[in-house]
Amino acid sequence: MGDDVFLTQAGYDKLKDELDRLIKVCRKEISQQVREARLKGDLKENAEYDAAKEAQAELEGRISELEYNLTRARIIERENIPQDKAYIGATVTLLDLDTQAEEVYTLVSKEEADYSQGKISIESPIGKAVLGKKVNEVIKVDAPAGELNYKVINIKR
């Protein structure tokens, strides 16, 4: 598992689409901004040029990161992962033992995490605590807000 990046097929496709957009569209736009800013005179005191070069560096950094992650990607739907335990790709329903509220999370890699969509990283406090657990197991999570107590009530793929 070392350097592998586990992604759902949808997550892989999303990163691939982002990479394609950055290379085909954004790279050209930023190159044009750099060219236009360069034409405006002295580069030592040209804030527009500096900003364009900084944006270009950030873009190239993101492109490199995406390329690196995509070359290490393993699609989790193709992996032989136990169905009865909470592992990456599983959707887990947890019962908050303090509030009795149910919370549903899909366990994903940090590259795919999006809390607003209920996708949490397996590296997050809750993600780490629930990994490898089965239905009816109780977990304690050391979170920034304090200790949280959950019971795993459902796991599905």
Question: Average pLDDT of 99-110?
Answer: 94
Question: Average pLDDT of 85-93?
Answer: 91
Q: How confident is the model at residue 44 (pLDDT cuts 50, 70, 90)?
A: confident
State the pLDDT at residue 1.
Answer: 44
Q: Which domains does the chain have, with CATH numbers?
A: 5-76 (1.10.287.180), 82-156 (3.10.50.30)
Question: Average pLDDT of 74-99?
Answer: 85
pLDDT for residue 2 is more than 60: no
Question: Average pLDDT of 1-5?
Answer: 67
Question: Average pLDDT of 38-60?
Answer: 87
With 0-12 CB in 10 A as exposed, 13-18 as middle and 19+ as buried, what is 121?
buried
Q: Which residues pair with 102 in a beta bridge?
A: 95
State the pLDDT at residue 78.
Answer: 65
Helix, strand or coil, per DSSP, at residue 142: strand
Whole-model pTM over 0.95: no
Phi-psi region of 150 (alpha: psi -120 to 50; beta: other; left: phi over 0): beta
pLDDT for residue 96 is more than 50: yes
Q: What does pLDDT average to over the chain?
A: 89
39 phi and psi, to 5 degrees? Answer: -75, -10
Question: Average pLDDT of 17-44?
Answer: 90
Nearest-5° Cα angle at 18, 14 to 20: 115
Q: Which residue has the tokens 């190239």?
A: 60
pLDDT for residue 136 is more than 80: yes
Q: Which residue has the higher pLDDT, 5 or 93?
A: 93
pLDDT for residue 38 is more than 90: no
